[in-house]
A and B are shown apart, each in its own frame.
Chain A
Amino acid sequence: MRSYLPAYDMRVPLELDEALETMARAPGEWKPFAGGTDLMVLLEQGKLAHRKFLSVARLKGLYGFALTDDHVTLGAMITYRQVQATAILQQEFPLLCRAAYETGGIATQNRGTLGGNIANASPAADSPPALLVYDAELELVSARGARWVPYAGFHLDYKKLDMRPEEVIRNIRLPRTKKNWRQHYRKVGTRRAQAISKVCFAGAALVDGGEINDVRIALGSVAPTVLRCRKTEALLRGSLTTEMVRAACDELAREIQPIDDFRSTARYRTRVAQKLLAEFLLGLIAPPAGDRA
Chain B
Amino acid sequence: MPEVRKVAVSFAVNGEPRTVEAYPMARLLDVLRQDLLLTGTKEGCGEGECGACSVLIDGELVNSCLVPVAQAEGSRITTIEGIAGETLHAVQEAFVECGGAQCGICTPGMVLAAVTLVGRQSAQPTEDDIRNGLAGNLCRCTGYMRIFEAVLQACEKSVGAGA
Contacts and interface: CB of A to CB of B under 8 A. Distances in A.
Interface of A: 3-12, 33, 35-37, 40-41, 43-45, 53, 55, 57-58, 81, 104-108, 110-111, 192-194
B47 A10 contact: no
B67 A111 contact: yes
Interface residues of B, number: 32
Contacts of A12: 70-71, 73
A36 B68 contact: yes
A81 B26 CA distance: 25
Contacts of A9: 4, 24-25
A57 B4 contact: no
B137 A44 contact: no
Contacts of B61: 106-107, 110
Contacts of B68: 10, 33, 36, 40, 53, 55
Interface stretch (B13-21, B48-56, B85-93): B48-56
Contact of B3 (A3, A6, A37, A193): A6
Nearest to A79: B60
A40 B29 CA distance: 12
A232 B137 CA distance: 39
Max count, chain B CB within 10 A of own CB: residue among A4, A8, A58, A106? A106
B161 interface: no
Contacts of B73: 12
A40 B48 contact: yes
B66 A36 contact: yes
Contacts of A36: 66-68, 71
A277 B133 CA distance: 30
A190 to B, nearest CB: 12
B26 A57 contact: no
Max count, chain B CB within 10 A of own CB: residue among A40, A44, A58, A104? A40
Contacts of B48: 37, 40-41, 104, 107-108
B145 to A, nearest CB: 16
B67 A105 contact: no
Given A36-B66, A110-B62, A44 B46 contact: yes
Nearest to B63: A107
Contacts of A81: 60
Max count, chain B CB within 10 A of own CB: residue among A5, A58, A104? A5
Contacts of B113: 106-107
Given A10-B68, A36-B71, A106-B116, A41 B47 contact: yes
B132 interface: yes
B1 interface: yes
Nearest to B59: A110
Given A9-B24, A40-B65, A110 B60 contact: yes
B2 to A, nearest CB: 8
Interface in B25-80: 25-27, 46-49, 51, 54, 60-63, 65-68, 70-71, 73
Nearest to B7: A10
B136 A193 contact: yes
A9 B2 CA distance: 10
Contacts of B47: 41, 44-45
A9 B5 CA distance: 9
A107 B54 contact: yes
A194 B136 contact: yes
23 contacts: A4-B1, A5-B4, A5-B25, A7-B4, A8-B25, A9-B24, A12-B70, A36-B68, A37-B66, A40-B67, A44-B27, A44-B65, A53-B68, A105-B135, A105-B137, A106-B61, A106-B132, A107-B54, A110-B62, A111-B63, A192-B135, A193-B135, A193-B136
Contacts of A11: 24, 70
B67 to A, nearest CB: 7
Contacts of B54: 107
Contacts of A107: 48, 51, 54, 61-63, 113, 136
B65 A193 contact: no
A7 B1 CA distance: 7
Interface in B102-124: 113, 116
B11 interface: no
Contacts of B4: 5-9
Contacts of A4: 1
